[in-house]
Structure 1
Amino acid sequence: MIKNWFKNIGPGPLVAAAFIGPGTVTVCTLAGVNFGFALLWAMGLSIIATVVLQEMSARLGLISQKGLSEIIRSEIKNPILKGLTILLILSAIVIGNAAYEAGNISGGVLGMETILGNPTVILAGFNLNILSVIVGIIAFSVLYIGNYKVLERVLVSLVILMSVSFLVTAFITQPNLSDIFSGLFVPQVSEENLLTIIGLIGTTVVPYNLFLHASLVKEKWHHASDLKYARKDTIIAVVLGGTVSMSIIISAAAIDTQNISSAADLAKGLEPLFGRFAKYFLAIGLFAAGITSAITAPLAAAYVATGCMGWSTSMKSKQFKAVWMFILGLGVLFSSIGFKSIEIIKFAQITNGLLLPIIAGFLLWVMNKSSILGKYKNTIIQNVIGCVIVGVAVFLGAKSILMVFEVI
């Protein structure tokens, strides 16, 4: 039974791996340190929204046997609208993932540094972090093989490692269960926690995962009869990913200080309270979160770019490899020399803020087209829930753009 379950698990854990990156770990850490268990409900809502959208994306990929960017290219008939949409998608996903890739690699490095220290070498006047290069080589090796089954096995293993690490860390802190349930089922919203709530939802409901999921599903399954496996895979993986995020919030809530700004600080803060094992488990979890995102971000960018440009979306094609190599190379370079381009990251945040409601809306529209999905198109209930999520996406997108411009 377990062997059969593993046989039919696939794209879901890769999607979970993509949204639990260093950014998510940091936001969850700050949520726990600053507000305790009070924002667990926001993560619960994020999980529900993510399951709904990712199920639509998976169903679209399985039934149409096309990626989301390929569907957009074929279904938007107006050339101007199509051009603007593709430009926005390429800006948000390709440039955005290039901007965030350095953070993904740096997150993996932070986990390693907690255990191994900080080995650097001076090259051409720059201090190069050796661990950034090591993380880059691991990601490069997995992607270069260009085999979906290998990619799946590596990432599923890393997700399991990450999940166990963060869950054990939360267990070590011995949280009060009644406080956890209160935080999970009693929403608390105030001016102080609103931006953190937006951050929690924004790092879980991720635009590029909608593209990634549709493309990965068609690599794994090819028949409508496999839809039940795709749905089960999506629900289990996203719920597990959300549970991991909650574990980070719970772990951070155990720290009795406000001088925590990252997961590395959290690891150091847990050590005197719960022993060095807490630090090591958290460090391993952070390493796994960083390296999985360092693999999935270039992968998603490659699927998006090749689909939008009408190129082959095969993992072995030259164009596909060129895109992910470009993203990964930039990430390793910026991470190893400690370069942080705030302007590029701000641009990525703006384009992602615009992209989520547009893609969620487009996905909802496509999911009602019988010409693409036939009897597998959305039900009325799915449409109602989808419309609510699109409304929330518009609100979040507007808020995130205003935050970048420091209007709020």
Structure 2
Amino acid sequence: MKNTESLSEVHQSVDTSKRTGWKRILSFIGPAYLVSVGYMDPGNWATDLAGGSKFGYQLIWILLMSNLIALLLQSLSARLGIVRGLDLAQASKNTYPSWVNIPLFALAQTAIIACDLAEIIGMAIGLQLLFNLPLLVGISITIFDTVILLFLMNKGMRKMEAFIVSMVFIVGLSFLIEMFIVEPNFTEIARGFKPTLLSGQALYIAIGIIGATVMPHNLYLHSSLVQTRKFERDSKGIKEAIKFNFIDTAVALNLAFFVNAAILILAAAAFYRNGLHEVAEIKDAHKLLGNIFGSVAPALFAIALIAAGQSSTVTGTLAGQIIMEGHLNLRIQPWLRRLITRLLAIIPAFFTILHFGDDALSSLLILSQVVLSLQLGFAVIPLIHFTSDKKEMKEFAIKNWVKILAWTSALVIVVLNVKLVIEEITVWNASSGGWYMYVLVIPAAILIALLLLYIFIFPMLNFKVKEKSNVPHGNALNIEPAERIIYHQIGITVDFSKNDRSTIRHAMIQGGQSAHYFLIHIVETAVARYHGQAALDHETKKDLDNLQRYCNNLAELGYHATPCIGFGATAKSIAEITNENKLELLVMGAHGHKGIKDIILGTTVDAVRHKITIPVLIVR
């Protein structure tokens, strides 16, 4: 069934088989662009600004190295999704014991919230810089991007990709124009690509750049998004899909590298060259750009910041859906999933502004990147294990030289991120150390490190984990031959509209003249809600008369019927009447409300079916 797949609403929704030549290649283009926005989100801006303002063009080679590592890992992620038809979370669930998947989900979800926090702060700062809105107002506005996500998901995968690409284009174009405004030194830029030994503050910022560049949720996301393409599942089709997705990844991540390099070059040309070496905050960069280059450069800077935040928040929601379904086999509505994540990110942002002021947001932005760093190893290490597994990947398992590069990259990432976390904990302990550091923070860090070691070792031990279902709804069951079910007690909900005729007719077909029918109507007037059965208002009396008329009509046709009237909450009253009369089948009419009408008028059918245990026949 289609709804058992990763991101089921868009799974294999883009058919590539009917296209040839360039059109076929272009049909594979898209997933990596959704992934690439995570590499140029507001969380990266602070580290790039700090690197450029403090050290000029010296750290460009670190950006390039980070981009190459990202290209390697994202291509592995795409390979996993294409070959095995599983996303990274589903593959983890298949490989590791059930208890491991709970902390893996918690860590991945925390990383997505941390990433969302960076988007919120970036969006709020961008709105403040462009429209002079207070940060609290800007943060509140970010709640409503849930509407954008719902709209894009309903329009299909290609429309969503087009939206993201347009956001990326705005970011890229903004910085391209800014490059002409600040006039960087291209000779110095070329020298910046030469690797140099780093120490002290330069090393710290380099670690931050790597930690902020390779995003863990992107690995989950990419392994699922590549499954939106429908192609032949033979050896040739899979090879072709891997090749075209690698092209997609290379182009998209090089664009992300251009944006990150542009931010660093902008900081180097605008600030380092002018002796401003302590510009690490986004608002400071915006202000100084205005002082040095006039109004155009800072306006473009703010527009790019908003576009980066908006595009990243959409992909973060998709990643959240993937990890929840993959690790926990739990599927909830995308708008609810988005709202929960956003609210969990907004709360610390609100708290920080209210108690520490606007200036503390930059520290919160850095903290979000540290949290992302903690989770990175839990995504990278399983990914390398899964794509190296010849039993599962067969001829598409990665070659030995790719393994060496991948494990080296993982070692660099984990070691540098561990160093970053240790340094941050040391700083926190020195500045505001307390009992919580030794009771909560340090023990949590040790437990996370032990879990990471377990994640690394377990796949090598060849323990057989019990086969699991990767779908929230389980697997198909064997269906036994069935005899006709005869219903003796049938409930029919009526509302005295033109739909009643069809509802009653379908019920009569189910039970025939041997069944007993209970005609159910709920009075929802204010008097009925307050007085219940004691209500004798005009509407209640009229509804009783109408019910009796239906019963008399059925009696003339040879059917037995009893009127049942309820009061107040519709779903609750219908469920109570159903249980009191020991009904065996409930037949309900559906009006076909959609969208806003569901919110205003309610969804009685859904509410009722969750309150009763008998079959429900819905007549439209």
Range into which the TM-score falls when normalised by the shorter chain: 0.7 to 0.9
Equivalent position of 2:201 in the other structure? 192
Corresponding residue to 2:123 among 86, 108, 120: 108
- Does the Cα contact within 8 Å between 1:36 and 1:250 map onto a contact in 2? yes
Corresponding residue to 2:246 among 231, 237, 242: 231
Normalised to the residue count of structure 2, the TM-score between the two structures is 0.58
- Does the Cα contact within 8 Å between 1:34 and 1:258 map onto a contact in 2? yes
Question: Aligned partners of 2:294 and 2:378: how far apart in 1?
Answer: 47
Question: Aligned partners of 2:123 and 2:365: how far apart in 1?
Answer: 19
Normalised to the residue count of structure 1, the TM-score between the two structures is 0.87
Counterparts of residues 322-333 of structure 1 (less than 5 Å): 322-332=336-346
Corresponding residue to 1:83 among 91, 99, 120: 99
Corresponding residue to 1:134 among 122, 130, 141: 141
Aligned-residue offset at 1:6: 5.0
1:158 aligns with 2:167: yes
Aligned-residue offset at 1:401: 2.0
Aligned-residue offset at 1:115: 2.0
1:167 aligns with 2:182: no
Q: 1:401 to 1:376 in 2, by over 3 A?
A: same
**Farther off after superposition, 331-340 or 241-250:** 331-340
- Does the Cα contact within 8 Å between 2:41 and 2:308 map onto a contact in 1? yes
Aligned residues: 390
Q: 1:406 to 1:237 in 2, by over 3 A?
A: same
Equivalent position of 2:264 in the other structure? 249
Equivalent position of 1:398 in the other structure? 418
Question: Aligned partners of 2:45 and 2:150: how far apart in 1?
Answer: 24
- Does the Cα contact within 8 Å between 1:114 and 1:283 map onto a contact in 2? yes
1:311 aligns with 2:318: no
1:276 aligns with 2:295: yes
- Does the Cα contact within 8 Å between 1:24 and 1:200 map onto a contact in 2? yes
1:214 aligns with 2:233: no
1:263 aligns with 2:263: no
**Farther off after superposition, 134-143 or 152-161:** 134-143
Deviations 1:26-50 (A, max 9, x none): 1101111111111111001001100
Q: 1:119 to 1:393 in 2, by over 3 A?
A: closer
Aligned-residue offset at 1:381: 1.7
Report the AA paired with residue 394 of structure 2.
G
Secondary structure of 2:218's aligned partner: helix
Secondary structure of 1:258's aligned partner: coil
Question: Aligned partners of 2:219 and 2:72: how far apart in 1?
Answer: 11
- Does the Cα contact within 8 Å between 2:48 and 2:263 map onto a contact in 1? yes
Deviations 1:162-197 (A, max 9, x none): 111122223321111110011112324121211100
Report the AA paired with residue 278 of structure 1.
A
Aligned-residue offset at 1:4: 6.6
1:12 aligns with 2:21: no
Equivalent position of 2:107 in the other structure? 92
Aligned-residue offset at 1:366: 1.0
1:387 aligns with 2:396: no
Aligned-residue offset at 1:269: 1.0
Aligned-residue offset at 1:350: 6.4
Question: Aligned partners of 1:387 and 1:276: how far apart in 2?
Answer: 47
RMSD over aligned Cα atoms: 2.7
Aligned-residue offset at 1:229: 1.7
- Does the Cα contact within 8 Å between 2:53 and 2:280 map onto a contact in 1? no
Question: Aligned partners of 1:309 and 1:344: how far apart in 2?
Answer: 29
Report the AA paired with residue 242 of structure 2.
L
Report the AA paired with residue 83 of structure 1.
W
Aligned-residue offset at 1:322: 3.1
Percent identical across equivalent pairs?
A: 25
Secondary structure of 2:214's aligned partner: coil
Aligned-residue offset at 1:391: 1.3
Q: 1:309 to 1:135 in 2, by over 3 A?
A: same
Structure 1, unpaired ranges of 5+: 121-127, 313-317
Question: Aligned partners of 1:60 and 1:398: how far apart in 2?
Answer: 27
